[in-house]
C-alpha cells in the first residue's frame, strides 16, 4: 500500500493509479490515519458516497465519518430538498462548524462540495445543547424553534416538528432516529425521553438533547430583512405578485426558497474553506463529473432566464402558466469552473484511477497496485461447472493470499456462507472487520459485510464480491423503515361530513363533536345527522357502535332515526351473509376431504434456485413461502390466496411453488388476465428456470398459430413443464397431461365463465391465487379457515422510495425531469385526470420535449388498440405514455421511473397511490411530480391528501393506506362482485364485522339467531367526562383518542392508555381520569349484560339488556348480600340505594357494583 508520509506538508495534485473500488477505500482509511486530521473525500454521487461509507465501516470501524449529502433537487428547482437529506446535511454542517480534532473522513459528493454554504458562525450560534437540570424558559425554546425553521404540530411525527403542551415539549431534531419529549417543572428541564413517532410511547431516557437548525435558511427578523433588501437590489424594487417574496416577508417557508439561500446571509463560504488544511481526495472520473455538474448549473440558470423572458411576454397565462421565478446568478450559490480550479490550487489533492499505473515514469502518479478480479460469469452460465466449487477453487489457487468474501447484508452473508461451504470451503470464518484478515493464514478465506460491486486483488489479499459470484446482490443494506399504520389510521379517522353507520340506527352523517351538559356535568358526544334533520348524540365512550361507511358515498340515502327500514335491511343482509358463510364453510369442508400428492423440496436444488432471487426476502414473503410449502406437503389440495401490494414480491412466491411442483414431475399452469402480463410473467419464469431441466412456454395472442399448436401438444404429452398464458389456457380444448399446480394472477379480472372453469380445475390440483387487491386485516380474520390466505404487507428490502414532489406547474422542472429520465434510458408516464384535457396536455409535452415519442392511452380506445400501445411502450417504442388513470396496475415496467401527474388535486388518495405504485419497481430511483395550477387554493382535504403522498415514502405504508381507503368496488372484488351491492347497504366496516361473525358462527355450528349483536352500555354518572380542549387542543387527535378508547378491551389496556396520555400530554385532568373510569365501568357492564346505568348522589338505577340476567340465581344471592342497599323492581331494573358524598366515591362505587355483577354473571 501507499505511504502518505511524504505528503504531510505542501500543495499539489497527485494521481493514485491501481485503485479500483474497494482499494480506494483502503487507501482513504490509511490516509486519514497518517494525516492525523480530517480528509475531505469527494465522491461522484450519493450512491457512491454511501457505498464508500459502508465499506469504511468494515475497513476502519473506529474511524470517525461525517457524511455531507447534497440537496436532492435540481439547481434552480421550485421544490425544497427532501427533509431527510436536509437533516443529514445539517448534522454534518453543524459537526464541521464545531471543529474536528484528529483523524476523520468527511465524505461528500460533487453536487454538495460545489454548493456554497452559510457562514460557519451561523451554525455555531444555532446549536442548542441541554441536559436534565438545565434552566431556561419554555418561551426561549419556542423562540429557538421558530428562528431555526421548526414547524409547530399537534402531534410530532416528522423531523423538524415540535409541540408544546404546558410543561411538556415534544421535538424531533433533524438527524436523530427518534423524537424527544422534554418535561419541564417551571423553567427547569427535569427529564428527556425518546419516544416512538408512530404510537407516541416512551422508548427510554436520553442523557442530553442537541438541537440544530432544520434548514440552512433562518427566518428570524434579521435574516428576513436581509433577504428583502438583497432581493430588491438584485431584481429591482417592485416585488408585487411575487409569492415567494411575500411568503418570506411574512415569515413563512415557501417551497423551493432554499435556492435563494445567499440572499439571507451577508456572505457565503465553501466546504474547503471550513477545512483549510485538509487534503482533498477526488473520486475516479471526478474531474469530468465536476465539469458536467457546473455545466448543468449554467444550463438550468439559462433555462430559468429564458422561461422568465417568455412568461413576461405572455399577457394572460392559462391555468398551466408557471408562476414567476427570478433566478440568482450561479456564482452566488455555486463554484464556477474558474473558482473551483483556484480553490484546488490551495490544497493537497489526490485523484483516484481504477486502472494500473501507466509505464511512463510519471512522478506525479502513485501506484496502489490493486486490480479487479475476474468474476464467475462463465461458471454461472455453464451447466457443466458447479459455481460454488469454482469459488472454492479460486480460493485454493490464491495460496499466498487471504481471501475475503464481501457480502452486502446479513441475510446474504448467511446464504453465501452455506453455499460456499457446500462447494468445498469447510473452514470459512467470519470477519467482523478488515483487521480480522490479519489473523487468517494465507490460502484461507473469511466472509464479512462489505458492500462491493466488483472484487479486487492486492499483493496480500483477494476480495470476491457478492455480484462476482451471483451476478447480482442478494440485498442492499436494509434501511430503518417508518411504520405507517397508526399515522394513516389517524389520517383516515372520521371527519366532519363523513358518512357513518350506527349499528342500531343506520347510515347518518357525522356533524362534529359537541359538549352537552348531562345532569349539569359536561360530556363530549358525536353529533350525527339523519334523514329529516334528526340528530343523534353519541357519547364518546360508545364509539365502537359507529363505523365508517366507506370512501364511495355518492347517492347514499341517510336513514330515518327510529325508522324500521334500517332494521329490516340489516336483518335481510344478515340472512344473506349467513348463507355466504355457510357456502364458504361447505367449500372448505369439501376441500379438507380431498387428497393430493405431497410435494417435498429437493434441498440442494431448491437452495440454488432461491439463490437466483436478486433480493432479500421480507418476513411476510418468507411467511407466505412457508405457508405454501406446508400446503404443498400436507397431502391435501392447496387453495391459497396471496395478497400483497404492487411490487411486493408475490411473483416470487409463485415461482418457488412452481419450482417445487415442476421438479416433482407435475405440470404448472400460470393464468393471467392480459396478454402483456402473460409476456411479463413468461420472461420472469424463463429467466429464473434457465439452465434447469424445466421447459417453460407461453400461450397467448403474442405467439403464432404454429407455436400455439406446439405448446398444446407439449402440454398434452407432458413435455412442457410450465405454461404461462391468458384465459386461452382455460379453454376445454386444452389438455394438460398431469397438471399439479394452477397459479392465478388477479383472479378478479377474469369473467364468469373463466371463473367457473377455474372452479372445475380446482377440484384435484393445487391452486395459488395472487392478488394486489388490498384486503383489510379484519376481512382477513373474517375469512380465516375458509380460504387460506397469506398477506405480504412489507416492501422489498432494496426498494428505493419514490421521491415525490408537489409543485405548481413548472415547465423548467418538468422539462428537466423528462430529460433526466430519457438521459438514463428510461421512460415517462404522464397522467391526466380528464380525457378532455389530453390534447392540450399533449401540446404541452411537445413544448417540453419536442423530440420525445409520445403515445396516448385512455378508456375509450378499443381493447386491441390499447394493448398495442401498451406493448409498444413496454417495448421501448415510445418515450412518454400520456394516459388517463387506466394504465394496467399489475404491469411491471421497470424502465419507466418518472411519473408526472397533471392536476393532482383532482385525484383521490388511493388513485394517487396506485398510480405512483407503477414506478420505482426497479433498482433506480423513481420520481413522481404532482403538479397543480399556480396560485390555486386547495381544499383542506386535497391539501392533506397531497401532503400524505409527499410524506409517505410509499413503502410499508401503502398497503395500510389502501385498505383504509378501501372503497366498495375493492371489497366486492374479494368476496365476489354480486356482494358489492350488499356492502353498499351497510358500508364496508359493518359488512366486514357481519361476515366475520357469520363465518365464526358457521365454523362453530352456532345458529344465526344466537350471534350476539354489537351493542354498548349507556353510563350516566353525572360527572364531567371528556378530553378538554386545553389538554389536547387538536380536534382530530382528540377524536382519534376517543376512537381508541372505545375499543379498549380490559383494565390492562386502560392502564396502558393512561400511561400514554400522561406521557404525551402531561398530568391528566379530572375529566380524563373520569373518562377512563367510565370506560372501565362500560367493560364491566357489557360483561354483566347491563344496558344502562343512571347514578346520582343518592344511588343508582341499573337496567339489564332485554330485561334479562345470565345467572338469575347469582343475582338473587348478590341482592341478598346487599340487603338494604340493592333491590329488584317489578320492571326488572335494579335500584342501588347508597349515598355517595362526592363524584369520586360515586364513580368508584358504581365501578365496584358493575364489576361484582360481571363476576356473578359468569
Which stretch of 113-122, 335-344, 750-759, 854-863 has the lowest confidence by average pLDDT? 750-759
Q: Taking a C-beta distance cutoff of 8 angstroms, is the pair 500, 548 a contact?
A: yes
Q: Taking a C-beta distance cutoff of 8 angstroms, is the pair 629, 768 a contact?
A: no
Which stretch of 350-359, 499-508, 727-736, 887-896 has the lowest confidence by average pLDDT? 887-896
Bridge partners (DSSP) of residue 745 are 770
Q: State the pLDDT at residue 317.
A: 45
Q: In angstroms, rounded to a whole number, what is the distance separating the alpha carbons of residues 712 and 695? A: 13
Bridge partners (DSSP) of residue 456 are 372, 463
Look at 552 and 615; give whichever has higher pLDDT. 615
Please say if the pLDDT value at position 871 is more than 90.
Answer: no
pLDDT tens for 185-242 read 888 999 999 998 877 888 889 999 888 888 888 888 889 999 999 999 998 877 766 7
CATH number 3.40.1190.20 given to 373-470: no
Which stretch of 380-389, 490-499, 608-617, 1026-1035 has the lowest confidence by average pLDDT? 490-499
Q: In angstroms, rounded to a whole number, what is the distance separating the alpha carbons of residues 300 and 1078? A: 63
What is the three-class DSSP state of 811? helix
- pLDDT band with cut points at 50, 70 and 90 for residue 141: confident
Of the CATH numbers 3.30.1360.30, 2.40.50.140, 3.30.465.10, 3.40.50.300, which one belongs to the domain with range 594-792? 3.40.50.300
Which stretch of 279-293, 439-453, 778-792 has the lowest confidence by average pLDDT? 778-792
Q: In angstroms, rounded to a whole number, what is the distance separating the alpha carbons of residues 635 and 599? A: 8
Please say if the pLDDT value at position 488 is more than 60.
Answer: no
Q: In angstroms, rounded to a whole number, what is the distance separating the alpha carbons of residues 25 and 55? A: 7
- pLDDT band with cut points at 50, 70 and 90 for residue 483: very low
Q: How many helices (H) and strands (E) does the chain have?
A: 39, 44
- Which of left, alpha, beta for 908 (phi over 0: left; psi -120 to 50: alpha)? beta
Architecture of domain 1-116+273-308+345-371: 3-Layer(aba) Sandwich (3.40)
Q: State the pLDDT at residue 949.
A: 65
What is the three-class DSSP state of 403? strand
pLDDT tens for 26-55 read 999 999 999 999 999 999 999 899 999 999
Q: In angstroms, rounded to a whole number, what is the distance separating the alpha carbons of residues 922 and 799? A: 8
Task: Give one DSSP letter per residue of 916-977, joined into a string.
Answer: HTTS--SSS--EEEEEE-TTPPPPHHHHHHHHHHHHS-SSSHHHHHHHHT--HHHHHHHH-G
Average pLDDT for residues 1124-1143, to the nearest whole number? 90
Q: Taking a C-beta distance cutoff of 8 angstroms, is the pair 857, 887 a contact?
A: yes
* 332-336: Cβ within 8 A, 24+ apart: 332/116, 332/262, 332/268, 333/115, 333/116, 333/259, 333/261, 333/262, 333/268, 334/75, 334/114, 334/115, 334/116, 334/294, 334/297, 335/113, 335/114, 335/115, 335/116, 335/270, 335/294, 336/294
Q: Are strands 639-644 and 788-792 parallel, antiparallel or unpaired?
A: parallel
Please say if the pLDDT value at position 900 is more than 80.
Answer: yes
Q: State the pLDDT at residue 1011.
A: 60
- pLDDT band with cut points at 50, 70 and 90 for residue 940: low
Q: In angstroms, rounded to a whole number, what is the distance separating the alpha carbons of residues 126 and 214? A: 10
Q: State the pLDDT at residue 236.
A: 83
In terms of Cα–Cα distance, which of 652, 822, 614, 809 is closest to 743? 652
pLDDT tens for 65-121 read 999 999 988 899 888 887 778 888 988 998 999 889 899 999 999 999 999 999 998
Please say if the pLDDT value at position 964 is more than 80.
Answer: no
Please say if the pLDDT value at position 749 is more than 90.
Answer: no
pLDDT tens for 527-536 read 999 998 899 9
In terms of Cα–Cα distance, which of 218, 62, 245, 73 is closest to 807? 73
Please say if the pLDDT value at position 341 is more than 90.
Answer: yes
Which stretch of 154-163, 485-494, 544-553, 886-895 has the lowest confidence by average pLDDT? 485-494
- pLDDT band with cut points at 50, 70 and 90 for residue 963: very low
Please say if the pLDDT value at position 916 is more than 90.
Answer: no
Q: Taking a C-beta distance cutoff of 8 angstroms, is the pair 513, 526 a contact?
A: yes
Please say if the pLDDT value at position 941 is more than 70.
Answer: no
Q: In angstroms, rounded to a whole number, what is the distance separating the alpha carbons of residues 1019 and 1095? A: 8
Q: In angstroms, rounded to a whole number, what is the distance separating the alpha carbons of residues 721 and 669? A: 9
Q: State the pLDDT at residue 954.
A: 43
Q: In angstroms, rounded to a whole number, what is the distance separating the alpha carbons of residues 422 and 634? A: 29
Average pLDDT for residues 629-640, to the nearest whole number? 88
Q: Taking a C-beta distance cutoff of 8 angstroms, is the pair 960, 913 a contact?
A: no
Q: State the pLDDT at residue 1043.
A: 82
Q: State the pLDDT at residue 267.
A: 94
Which stretch of 610-614, 627-631, 942-946, 1056-1060 has the lowest confidence by average pLDDT? 942-946
Q: State the pLDDT at residue 437.
A: 92
Q: State the pLDDT at residue 493.
A: 60
Average pLDDT for residues 961-990, to the nearest whole number? 51
Q: In angstroms, rounded to a whole number, what is the distance separating the alpha carbons of residues 158 and 153? A: 9
Q: In angstroms, rounded to a whole number, what is the distance separating the alpha carbons of residues 559 and 569? A: 11
- Sign of the four-CA dihedral 383, 385, 388, 391: negative
Please say if the pLDDT value at position 329 is more than 90.
Answer: yes
Please give the class, per CATH, of domain 803-954: alpha beta
Look at 734 and 592; give whichever has higher pLDDT. 734
Mean pLDDT of the chain: 83
Please give the class, per CATH, of domain 128-211: alpha beta
Please say if the pLDDT value at position 662 is more than 90.
Answer: yes
In terms of Cα–Cα distance, which of 1088, 1085, 1084, 1068 is closest to 1024? 1068
Neighbours of 327 (CB within 10 A): 21
Half-sphere exposure of 63 (CA within 13 A, CB side): 31
Q: Are strands 348-352 and 280-282 parallel, antiparallel or unpaired?
A: parallel
Please say if the pLDDT value at position 956 is more than 50.
Answer: no
Q: State the pLDDT at residue 910.
A: 63
Q: In angstroms, rounded to a whole number, what is the distance separating the alpha carbons of residues 810 and 322? A: 5
Neighbours of 556 (CB within 10 A): 15
pLDDT tens for 1137-1146 read 999 888 889 9
In terms of Cα–Cα distance, which of 18, 67, 483, 81 is closest to 284? 18
pLDDT tens for 750-766 read 665 676 667 666 667 89
Task: Give one DSSP letter per residue of 184-215, joined into a string.
Answer: EETTEEEEEEEE-TTT--EEEE-S-EEE--SS
Average pLDDT for residues 1057-1066, to the nearest whole number? 82
Q: State the pLDDT at residue 1162.
A: 80
Provide the 8-state DSSP code for 1139: -
Please say if the pLDDT value at position 427 is more than 70.
Answer: yes
For the chain, what percent of residues have pLDDT higher than 90? 36
SS (H, E, C) 209-266: EEECCCCCCCCCHHHHHHHHHHHHHHHCCCCCCCHHHHHHHCCCCCCCHHHHHHHHCC
- Residues in contact with 729: Cβ distance below 8 Å, sequence separation at least 6, in sequence order: 669, 671, 699, 723
Please give the class, per CATH, of domain 486-559+1017-1161: alpha beta
Amino acid at each position: 500500500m501507499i505511504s502518505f508520509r511524504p505528503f504531510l506538508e505542501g500543495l499539489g495534485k497527485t494521481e493514485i493509479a491501481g485503485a479500483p473500488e474497494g482499494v480506494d477505500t483502503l487507501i482513504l482509511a490509511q490516509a486519514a490515519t497518517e494525516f492525523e486530521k480530517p480528509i475531505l473525500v469527494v465522491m461522484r454521487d450519493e450512491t457512491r458516497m454511501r457505498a464508500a461509507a459502508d465499506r469504511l465501516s468494515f475497513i476502519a470501524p473506529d474511524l470517525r465519518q461525517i457524511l455531507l449529502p447534497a440537496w436532492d433537487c435540481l439547481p434552480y428547482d421550485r421544490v425544497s430538498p427532501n427533509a431527510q437529506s436536509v437533516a443529514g446535511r445539517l448534522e454534518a454542517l453543524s459537526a464541521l462548524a464545531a471543529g474536528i480534532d484528529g483523524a476523520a473522513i468527511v465524505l461528500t459528493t460533487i453536487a454538495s462540495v460545489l454548493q456554497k454554504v452559510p457562514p460557519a458562525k451561523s451554525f455555531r450560534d444555532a446549536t442548542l445543547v441541554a441536559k436534565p437540570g438545565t434552566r431556561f424558559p419554555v418561551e426561549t425554546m419556542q423562540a429557538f424553534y421558530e428562528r431555526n425553521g421548526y414547524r409547530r404540530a399537534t402531534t410530532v411525527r416528522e423531523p423538524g416538528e415540535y409541540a408544546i403542551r404546558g410543561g411538556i415539549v415534544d421535538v424531533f431534531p433533524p438527524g436523530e432516529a427518534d423524537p424527544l419529549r422534554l418535561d419541564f417543572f417551571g423553567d427547569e428541564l427535569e427529564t428527556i425521553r425518546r419516544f416512538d413517532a408512530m404510537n407516541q410511547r416512551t422508548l427510554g431516557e436520553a442523557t442530553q438533547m442537541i438541537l440544530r437548525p432544520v434548514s440552512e435558511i433562518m427566518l428570524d427578523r434579521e435574516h428576513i430583512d436581509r433577504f428583502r433588501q438583497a432581493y430588491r437590489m438584485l431584481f429591482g424594487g417592485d416585488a408585487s405578485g411575487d409569492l415567494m417574496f411575500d411568503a418570506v416577508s411574512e415569515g413563512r417557508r415557501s417551497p423551493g426558497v432554499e435556492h435563494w439561500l445567499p440572499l439571507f446571509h451577508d456572505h457565503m463560504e465553501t466546504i474547503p474553506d471550513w477545512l483549510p488544511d485538509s487534503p482533498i481526495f477526488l473520486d475516479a472520473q471526478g474531474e469530468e463529473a465536476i465539469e458536467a455538474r457546473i455545466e448543468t448549473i449554467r444550463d438550468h440558470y439559462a433555462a430559468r432566464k429564458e422561461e422568465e423572458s417568455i412568461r413576461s411576454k405572455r399577457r394572460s397565462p392559462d391555468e398551466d402558466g408557471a408562476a414567476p421565478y427570478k433566478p440568482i446568478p450561479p456564482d452566488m450559490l455555486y463554484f464556477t469552473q474558474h473558482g473551483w480550479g483556484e480553490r484546488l490550487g490551495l490544497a493537497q489533492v489526490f485523484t483516484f484511477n481504477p486502472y494500473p499505473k501507466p509505464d511512463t515514469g510519471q512522478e506525479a502518479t502513485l501506484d496502489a497496485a490493486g486490480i479487479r478480479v475476474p468474476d464467475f460469469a462463465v461458471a454461472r452460465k455453464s451447466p457443466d461447472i458447479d459455481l460454488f466449487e469454482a469459488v472454492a477453487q479460486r480460493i485454493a489457487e490464491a495460496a499466498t493470499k487471504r481471501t475475503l468474501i464481501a457480502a452486502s447484508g446479513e441475510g446474504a452473508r448467511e446464504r453465501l456462507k452455506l453455499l460456499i461451504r457446500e462447494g468445498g470451503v469447510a473452514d470459512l470464518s467470519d470477519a467482523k472487520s478488515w483487521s480480522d484478515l490479519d489473523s487468517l493464514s494465507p490460502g484461507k478465506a473469511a466472509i464479512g459485510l462489505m458492500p462491493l460491486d466488483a472484487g479486487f486483488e492486492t499483493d496480500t489479499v483477494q476480495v470476491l464480491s457478492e455480484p462476482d459470484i451471483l451476478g447480482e446482490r442478494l440485498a442492499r443494506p436494509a434501511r430503518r423503515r417508518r411504520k405507517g399504520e397508526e399515522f394513516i389510521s389517524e389520517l383516515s379517522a372520521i371527519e366532519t361530513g363523513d358518512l357513518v353507520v350506527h349499528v342500531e340506527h343506520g347510515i347518518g352523517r357525522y356533524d362534529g363533536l359537541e359538549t352537552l351538559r348531562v345532569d349539569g356535568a359536561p360530556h363530549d358526544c358525536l353529533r350525527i345527522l339523519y334523514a329529516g334533520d334528526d340528530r343523534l348524540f353519541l357519547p364518546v365512550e360508545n364509539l365502537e357502535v359507529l363505523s365508517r361507511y366507506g370512501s364511495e358515498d355518492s347517492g347514499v340515502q341517510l336513514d330515518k332515526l327510529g325508522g324500521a327500514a334500517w332494521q329490516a335491511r340489516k336483518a335481510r343482509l344478515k340472512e344473506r351473509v349467513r348463507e355466504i358463510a355457510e357456502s364458504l364453510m361447505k367449500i372448505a369442508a369439501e376441500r379438507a376431504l380431498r387428497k393430493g400428492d405431497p410435494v417435498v423440496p429437493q434441498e440442494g436444488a431448491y437452495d440454488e434456485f432461491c439463490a437466483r432471487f436478486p433480493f432479500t426476502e421480507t418476513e411476510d414473503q418468507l411467511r407466505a413461502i412457508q405457508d405454501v410449502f406446508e400446503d404443498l406437503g400436507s397431502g391435501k389440495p392447496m387453495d391459497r390466496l396471496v395478497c400483497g401490494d404492487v411490487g411486493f414480491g408475490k411473483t416470487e412466491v409463485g415461482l418457488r411453488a412452481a419450482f417445487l411442483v415442476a421438479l416433482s414431475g407435475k405440470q404448472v399452469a400460470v393464468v393471467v388476465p392480459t396478454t402483456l402480463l402473460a409476456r411479463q410473467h413468461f420472461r420472469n419464469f424463463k429467466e429464473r428456470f434457465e439452465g434447469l431441466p424445466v421447459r417453460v412456454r407461453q400461450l397467448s395472442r403474442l405467439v403464432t398459430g404454429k407455436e400455439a399448436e406446439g405448446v398444446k401438444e407439449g402440454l398434452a404429452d407432458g413435455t412442457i413443464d410450465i405454461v404461462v398464458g391468458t384465459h386461452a389456457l382455460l379453454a376445454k380444448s386444452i389438455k394438460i397431461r398431469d397438471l399439479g399446480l394452477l397459479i392465478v394472477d388477479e383472479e378478479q379480472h377474469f369473467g364468469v365463465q373463466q371463473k367457473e372453469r377455474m372452479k372445475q380445475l380446482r377440484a384435484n390440483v393445487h391452486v395459488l391465487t395472487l392478488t394486489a387487491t388490498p384486503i383489510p386485516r379484519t376481512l382477513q380474520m373474517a375469512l380465516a379457515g375458509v380460504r387460506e390466505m397469506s398477506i405480504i404487507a412489507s416492501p422489498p428490502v432494496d426498494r428505493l422510495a419514490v421521491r415525490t414532489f408537489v409543485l405548481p406547474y413548472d415547465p423548467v422542472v418538468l422539462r428537466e425531469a423528462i430529460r433526466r429520465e430519457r438521459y438514463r434510458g428510461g421512460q415517462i408516464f404522464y397522467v391526466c385526470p380528464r380525457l378532455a384535457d389530453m390534447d392540450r396536455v399533449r401540446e404541452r409535452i411537445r413544448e417540453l420535449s419536442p423530440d420525445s415519442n409520445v403515445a396516448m392511452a385512455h378508456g375509450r380506445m378499443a381493447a386491441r388498440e390499447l394493448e398495442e400501445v401498451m406493448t409498444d411502450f413496454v417495448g421501448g417504442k415510445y418515450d412518454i405514455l400520456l394516459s388517463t388513470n387506466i394504465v394496467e396496475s399489475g404491469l411491471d415496467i421497470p424502465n419507466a421511473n418518472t411519473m408526472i401527474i397533471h392536476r393532482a388535486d383532482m385525484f383521490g388518495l388511493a388513485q394517487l397511490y396506485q398510480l405512483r405504485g407503477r414506478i420505482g419497481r426497479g433498482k433506480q430511483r423513481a420520481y413522481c411530480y404532482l403538479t397543480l395550477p399556480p396560485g390555486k387554493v386547495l381544499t383542506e382535504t386535497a391539501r392533506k391528501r397531497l401532503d400524505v403522498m409527499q410524506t409517505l415514502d410509499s413503502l410499508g405504508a401503502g398497503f395500510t393506506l389502501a385498505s383504509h381507503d378501501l372503497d366498495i368496488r375493492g371489497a366486492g372484488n374479494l368476496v365476489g362482485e354480486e356482494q358489492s351491492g350488499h356492502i353498499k347497504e351497510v358500508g364496508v366496516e359493518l359488512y366486514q364485522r357481519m361476515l366475520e361473525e357469520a363465518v365464526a358462527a358457521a365454523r362453530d355450528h352456532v345458529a344465526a339467531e344466537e350471534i350476539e349483536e354489537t351493542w354498548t352500555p349507556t353510563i350516566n354518572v353525572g360527572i364531567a367526562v371528556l378530553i378538554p380542549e386545553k389538554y389536547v387542543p387538536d380536534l382530530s387527535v382528540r377524536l382519534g383518542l376517543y376512537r381508541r378508547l372505545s375499543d379498549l378491551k380490559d383494565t390492562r389496556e386502560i392502564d396502558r392508555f393512561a400511561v400514554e396520555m400522561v406521557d404525551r400530554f402531561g398530568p391528566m385532568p379530572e375529566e380524563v381520569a373520569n373518562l377512563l373510569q367510565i370506560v372501565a365501568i362500560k367493560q364491566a357492564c357489557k360483561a354483566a349484560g347491563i344496558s344502562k346505568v343512571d347514578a346520582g348522589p343518592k344511588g343508582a338505577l341499573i337496567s339489564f339488556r332485554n330485561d334479562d340476567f345470565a345467572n338469575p340465581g347469582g343475582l338473587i344471592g348478590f341482592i341478598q348480600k346487599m340487603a338494604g342497599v340493592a333491590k329488584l323492581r317489578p320492571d326488572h331494573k335494579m335500584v342501588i340505594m347508597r349515598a355517595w358524598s362526592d363524584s369520586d366515591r360515586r364513580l368508584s362505587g358504581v365501578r365496584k357494583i358493575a364489576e361484582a355483577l360481571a363476576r356473578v354473571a359468569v
